[in-house]
Amino acid sequence: MKKREFAITLVKTLIIAVFALAFLLPLIWMVTSSLKNTNEVFAGNWQWLPREWKWGNYAAVWTDPDVSMFKAYLNTAFITVIGTVVQLIISSMAAYAFAKVRFQGKQVVFVLFLATMMMPTEVTIVPRFILFKTVGLYNNLWAIILPHFFNATAIFLLRQFYIGLPDDLMEAAKIDGAGHLRIFGQILLPLTKASLISLMVLSFISCWNEYMAPLIFLIKKPLYTISQVIRWYMLDDLQRYDLNMAAATSAIIPVVILFIFCQRYFVEGIATSGVKG
Amino acid sequence: MARKYRNQNQIKENIAGYAFVMPALVTYVLLIAFPFFLTLILSFTEFNFLKVRSLAKLGKYISWIGLDNFRAILRDRRFMQSISNTFVYAFTTVPASIVLGLVIAYLLNGRVFCKKPLRLAFFIPYISSIVALGAVFKFLFREDGLVNRALMGLGWIAEPWKWTVEPSLSKIPIIFLVIWTSLGYVMIIYMAALQNVPRSLYEAATIDGASGFQQFTRITLPMVSPTTFYLVIVRLIAIFKIFGSVNVFTMGSSIASNTSIVQEIYSSAFSDYAHGYASAQSVVLLLIIILFTAINFGGQKKWVHY
Amino acid sequence: MKKVLCLLLAALMLLPTLAAFAEGEDITSWILEDDTSISGEISFWMPFKGSQGMDALIADFNSIYPNIKVNLNTYNNNSDGNLSVNTSILAGEVDVLASFGLSNAYKRWEAGLYVDLTDLVEEEGIDLVANWGSDAFKYDDCIYTFPCGGLSYYVAINMNAWNAAGLGELPTEWTWDDYFAASKAMTEYNEDGTVKVYGGSSYHSQNYYTYVYGSLVGKNAYYDEDGTCSFDNPVIIKALQDEYNAEIVDKIWFPKSIYRGDNLQSQQTFLVERTCNSSLTPNMVRFLPDTANYGVDFITGFAPWPVIEKGQTNYMSGVSPFSHAGICMDPDDEDFPAAWAFLKWYSTYGVKYLAAAGHQPNWKGTEAGSALSLLFGSEEEAAKFVDVESFKRVVGVSTNPSYYEDELTAYSKVNSLMAEYTMYALNDVMSPEEALAELTKLADEAIAAER
């Protein structure tokens, strides 16, 4: 019996492993291409491994004086950190109000917020262009950051979580004379840490990989995000495939490393968005 | 007295409530509601923002043309093609990623070795930058790319196929790219859902002599159906607004057979500078999403078990 | 009596030359009168980099106008880059703008992004025809830009392949059939019979087959005389059929479907990957001296743009207007006189620096032969890269008849339809005839809608 179980487990593992390998092949191709000479990438006598390992490709991508990956990392990190932190603060406050404060018009506001889950931001791209252009946020990192502040999904998920917290906690504090600010800040907010980490992960993924908004709003090279840098290499006259793949690898590897260290949070974060919905 | 106290209390609660909601409400009004109404308004106009010299005289640059934009959309061959392309992307990638995602989640949920590294493999594409992955895929599907080499090596095709420019093939790389990048997400959601299926159900079924496959169709599928419903909605919306994966492939190719709705909105707005028309196209996109979400909610009673 | 007549005739024939010379004199005088004391600071937006001749241009300008500071801003000449230019104009960041191709200029004329120069031009008596050969570039009868830079069209040839194929002397005039025959002769094959190096190649843009028609009629390859589109013209149908045959049937030209699908550019296939031995790439000369990125071990020779029949006037043999320069700064700005002075200088004396980037000056007062030395430094240096004799004969000969476009109805729309349907033909999805029939229908609809 035990032998049979082992065999089944092994077969299952192998099936999945084959799938997994197929999933990783394009990425392996990407990494090896990033270390080749550009002529090798599509050479007639193609092979997986570089004939000569050109680590210099990474140096070239990261230190290019015109379009530097280093600068792009700083820009993208700035967008991600501010966008995520403020989104979590704003969403937590709103979620607390929707769950624990009995104010008039609550339902109306909540339904209005929820309705936006159906409206992709792409629908409002023209007015946002006009708006940001008018108020001077064009070619400005804040044009990417600001729209991340409001996230209906985050508000909804946090509200569910706050509803799950027992009211007794609040009542006790109220008797001690605590106002909403203290109840929220000192008692309830710390209890939502796990959810916040999960949402942080979701927000990180969406900020870090954002493509369309930077494409429209960040056109000056010093403001490029990581996506913009990769696109720049795709469109460049010289068509350096090696550098293009080095840029792509530079965009992906750090996220993967982060994921390996925080795998639990990533998985939980994404799973929460599904189960509660 | 009690009533007054209650009123006062209510006022206090109102102040507190709105104070807490205010940051969200302000960003909502400025960045969601206002642009949304502007989209609606602009969809009935002919408008090129580049012509606007002073905002005080904005009205001068906007001409009202009623439903003309929408009539033009009906005659716009390229936009109509983009709608049908987007439907093709939706109806291929959504079922494929959901089915594959469920199968992999089911396998991974049982006893397997190296569960975490395996899970990681499926997950990397989901957390990675779409333009990075798109660049890789565009290279793989090049004339002299790995896909053509492999297929020719296997003797399945005689000469390289033109995946990126041949209209009958051009959707295929994008479909694979989308499945590749979305499968990790579907898998994680299903893995969480599968863990919530009570063990006892399977144990009871085993005693009744149900096979593994029967257990999967009779227990697992109905138990995760709310998750499936959620995934269908979320993935459909995600595909209806597909842009990044398409944009990487349409760069420079000029053909209409793989473009998507948002790609066309983008090019109307930022290449043709037809901002009124692009707004009308955006409204059409929103209507499509609302319609399909409504259909889903209407049909859910038939197959979703809570 | 006969002698006198001959002399008279000769004198008559010389007159235009003399007149041109006199005009040249005139041209050099109107600009530099007494405005050299102007000062100010302006930003100059242009697709070329400082190293592609623009630093030298600005230095030369400053030797005459030392008090005008010019800040160069290089932009990408694709749709992203042009969007950034347009939004920067709205933000008031662009003072003088140079752009390539009619499509971009047209969108900006239409949106009013340039300052209307009509009155200034009239006031200062600037003669467009005398300076740039044409006064066709107007929108709603207003002058927004000077058509001061051009492109010269030719076939760049890998001389090793040419000689190996035993094709003899480079032609001074040849037909398309001659060029296809040469392409076939220069095509190299692998052992298994597949193509190793294509003999020829079109440019990586879609519209080049329409220039076959352009070389015949001299203007507006997309439009017929009556204003409808020209894609049903037999010459265009044959031109696309020929390109289809060369790329798909005979496999002697590098396929355009690969250029478009894989984002390749035609200087790459010629210089880097060596997958074609000749190419209709008008800016090829820009890449030749760039040994760091495009170092090659062969000499590039030049043959003229082929004709349909020998003896035909070849309107693609001259320099066609391709770039437009205008002012985007509010005329009330205190730096406006500086911008105006720079625009005038750039579009006349300055445009010779475009040669360093492979474009050709369009100004009639430009000294002949400056392209070669600007590109390579000297004639001796040039001989390391190019066949000097054929270069001089073919590249940037502004005295030859030149093709231009001034019909603009629904231009952008017609252009993108052309790009799309051309690809259907060259991907073998539709026959060239079918594709052009469909294209004609849609393009005529677009033209009618705009009228």
Q: What is the dihedral of CA C351, C357, C360, C364, to 10 degrees?
A: 20
Question: Phi, psi (5° rounding) for residue A220?
Answer: -80, 135
What number of residues does chain B have? 306
Burial classification of residue A92, based on how many CB atoms lie within 10 Å of its CB (0-12 exposed, 13-18 middle, 19 or more buried): buried
| C48/C15 same-domain check | no
Among B296, B240, B283, B250, CA closest to B87? B240
Rounded distance, CA C45 to CA C342, Å?
A: 12
Whether C272 and C126 share a structural domain: no
Query: What pLDDT, on a 0 to 100 scale, did the predictor assign at position A242?
Result: 92
Q: Is the Cβ of A28 closer than 8 Å to some Cβ of chain B?
A: no
Is C375 part of any domain? Answer: no
C-beta separation of B275 from B49 below 8 A? yes
What residue ranges do the domains of chain A occupy?
A: 63-276
Q: DSSP string spanning A42-110?
A: T-TT--SS-SS--THHHHHHHH-SSS-HHHHHHHHHHHHHHHHHHHHHHHHHHHHHHHH---TTHHHHH
What pLDDT does residue C23 have? 42
**Do B145 and A42 make contact, defined as CB atoms within 8 angstroms?**
yes
- In a shared domain, residues B51 and B197: no
Residues from chain A that touch B130, judged by Cβ atoms under 8 A, are 209, 211, 227
Mean pLDDT (chain C) is 87
According to DSSP, the residues that pair with C11 across neighbouring strands are: none
Residues 6+ apart with CB under 8 A from C106: C139, C408, C411, C412
d(CA A38, CA A236): 14
CA C139 to CA A38: how far, in whole Å?
Answer: 45
Task: Look at chain C and report how many structural domains it folds into.
Answer: 3
Question: Which residue among A39, A216, A239 sits closest to C263, beta carbon to beta carbon?
Answer: A239
Same domain, C173 and C99: no
Amino acid (one-letter) located at C375? L
What does residue C100 show for φ and ψ, rounded to 5 degrees? -110, 145
Residue given tokens 């190793």 in the structure block: C196
Q: Is the pLDDT of residue C5 over 80?
A: no
Do C330 and C291 belong together in one domain? no
**Under-50 pLDDT residues of chain B:** 1
The DSSP element (H or E) to which B89 belongs, if any, is helix B77-109
User: Is B251 near chain C, with CB under 8 Å?
Assistant: yes
ipTM: 0.91
Domain coverage including residue C57: 32-152+318-366
Q: Which of A133, A215, A239 has its CB closest to that of C80?
A: A215
Domain at A63-276: CATH code = 1.10.3720.10
Residues B137/B54, Cβ–Cβ less than 8 Å: no
Query: How many residues are there in chain C?
Result: 451
- Domain check: are C310 and C186 in the same one? yes
CA distance C235 to C216: 9
Tokens of B236: 């459909």
Are residues B26 and B129 located together in one domain of the fold?
Answer: no
Question: Is C229 domain-assigned?
Answer: yes
**Domain co-membership, C415 together with C277:** yes
pLDDT at residue C22, as a whole number: 39
Among C192, C258, C262, which would you mutate to test the B interface (most chain B Cβ atoms within 10 Å of its Cβ)? C262
Looking at the fold, whether B55 and B91 belong to one and the same domain comes out as no
| DSSP alpha helix (H) spans, C288-410 | 291-294, 336-346, 370-376, 379-383, 388-394
Distance from CA of A37 to the nearest CA of B (A): 15
C-alpha to C-alpha distance for C375 and A139, rounded to whole angstroms = 35
What does the DSSP assignment read for C70-129?
Answer: EEEEE--SSHHHHHHHHHHHHTT--SEEEEESHHHHHHHHHHT-SPP-HHHHHHTT--HH
Does B288 lie in the same domain as B143? yes
CA distances from C403 to A109, C22, C153 (A): 63, 25, 10
Nearest partner of C264 among C198, C354, C357, judged by Cα: C198
**Contact assessment for residue C124 and residue C112, using Cβ atoms and an 8 Å cutoff:** no
Segments forming the whole domain that contains residue B234: 78-303
Question: Neighbouring chains of C at 3+ CB pairs within 8 Å?
Answer: A, B
CATH for C286: 3.40.190.10
Q: Residue A236: phi, psi to the nearest 5?
A: -65, 145
Q: Within this chain, do residues B98 and B27 fall inside the same structural domain, yes or no?
A: no
Residue A26: predicted pLDDT = 95
Subunits close to B (at least 3 CB pairs below 8 A): A, C
Is the pLDDT at C20 greater than 60? The verdict is no
Of A211, A224, A238, which to mutate for an interface test with C (greatest number of C Cβ within 10 Å)?
A238
Instruction: Specify the pLDDT at position B2.
Output: 57
**Contact (CB, 8 A) for A222 and A140:** no
Question: Which tens digit of pLDDT belongs to each residue from C132-154?
Answer: 888 878 888 899 999 988 899 99
Residues B33 and B180 in one domain: no
Residue C94 scores a pLDDT above 60: yes
Hey, what amino acid is at B115? K
SS3 state at C174:
coil
Band (C12; pLDDT cuts 50, 70, 90) = very low
Judge if C308 and C421 occupy the same domain: yes
Chain A positions touching C90 (Cβ under 8 A) are 133
Residues B25, B135: one domain?
Answer: no
Same domain for B202 and B165: yes
The answer to whether B84 contacts chain A (CB < 8 Å) is no
B280 found inside a domain = yes
Interface of A with C in 207-236 (CB under 8 A): 215-216, 219-220, 231, 234-235
Domain edge (last residue) among B18, B34, B64: B64
Chain B residues lying within 8 Å of C442, measured CB to CB: 77
Q: Are B306 and B300 in contact (CB under 8 A)?
A: no
CA dihedral B135, B137, B142, B145 (to 10 degrees): 110
Helix/strand number for chain A, H first, E second: 14, 0
pLDDT per residue, tens digit, chain A (277 aa), is 578 888 888 888 998 999 899 999 999 999 999 999 888 888 877 889 998 899 999 999 999 988 899 999 999 999 999 999 999 999 999 999 999 888 999 999 999 999 888 888 899 999 999 999 888 898 899 999 999 999 998 999 899 888 888 888 788 888 887 788 888 888 888 888 888 888 888 888 889 989 999 988 988 889 999 999 999 998 887 788 999 999 999 999 888 888 888 888 777 777 776 654 4
A26 close contact with B: CB closer than 8 A: yes
Amino acid at C253: W
Residue C24: predicted pLDDT: 43
My answer on whether B127 and B233 are in the same domain is: yes
The whole-number pLDDT of residue B3 equals 63
Domain identity same for B57 and B92: no
Alpha-carbon distance C402 to C150, whole Å?
A: 10
C133: left (phi over 0), alpha (psi -120 to 50) or beta: left
Instruction: Tell me: do C79 and C147 sit in the same domain.
Output: yes
Please indicate whether, in this complex, the C-beta atoms of C87 and A133 are within 8 angstroms of each other: yes
Co-location of B134 and B188 in the same domain? yes
DSSP state of C136: -
Hey, how many other C-beta atoms are within 10 angstroms of the C-beta on C185?
17
- Whether B255 is covered by a domain: the verdict is yes
What are C338's two structure tokens? Answer: 């500086």
* pLDDT surpasses 60 at C18: no
Predicted pLDDT at B47: 92
Instruction: DSSP letter for A140, please.
Output: S
Q: Indicate whether B156 and B60 sit together in one domain.
A: no
Q: Is A39 within 8 Å of C272 when comparing Cβ atoms?
A: yes
User: Are residues C87 and C5 located together in one domain of the fold?
Assistant: no
Distance from the first to the final alpha carbon of chain B: 47
C8 and C124 within one domain: no
Residue C167 in this model has a pLDDT that exceeds 90? yes
The answer on pLDDT for C305 being more than 90 is yes
What CATH number did the domain enclosing B111 receive? Answer: 1.10.3720.10
Query: What does the pLDDT look like over C176-201, one tens digit per residue?
Result: 999 999 999 999 999 988 899 999 99
Both tokens of residue B20?
């807490």
Instruction: Assess if residue B69 is contained within a domain.
Output: no
Is B73 inside any structural domain? Answer: no
- C274 part of a folded domain: yes
The answer to whether B244 and A211 have CB atoms below 8 angstroms apart is yes
Q: Which among C104, C124, C207, C178 has a CA at the least distance from the CA of C419? A: C207
Mind telling me how many Å the CA of B150 is from chain A's nearest CA?
Answer: 11
C303 shares its domain with C323: no
Chain A 49-78, residues with CB within 8 Å of chain B CB atoms: none
Rounded CA gap, B66 and B45, in Å? 7
Size of interface A-B (CB pairs under 8 A): 294
User: What's the total number of domains in chain B?
Assistant: 2
- The pLDDT tens digits of the residues spanning C327-369 come to 998 888 899 999 999 999 999 989 989 988 889 888 888 776 6
Looking at the predicted structure, is the pLDDT value of residue C3 above 70? no
Name the DSSP letter for residue B114. S
Q: Sort out which chain A residues have CB atoms less than 8 A from B223's CB and list them.
A: none
CB of C71 less than 8 A from some CB of A? no
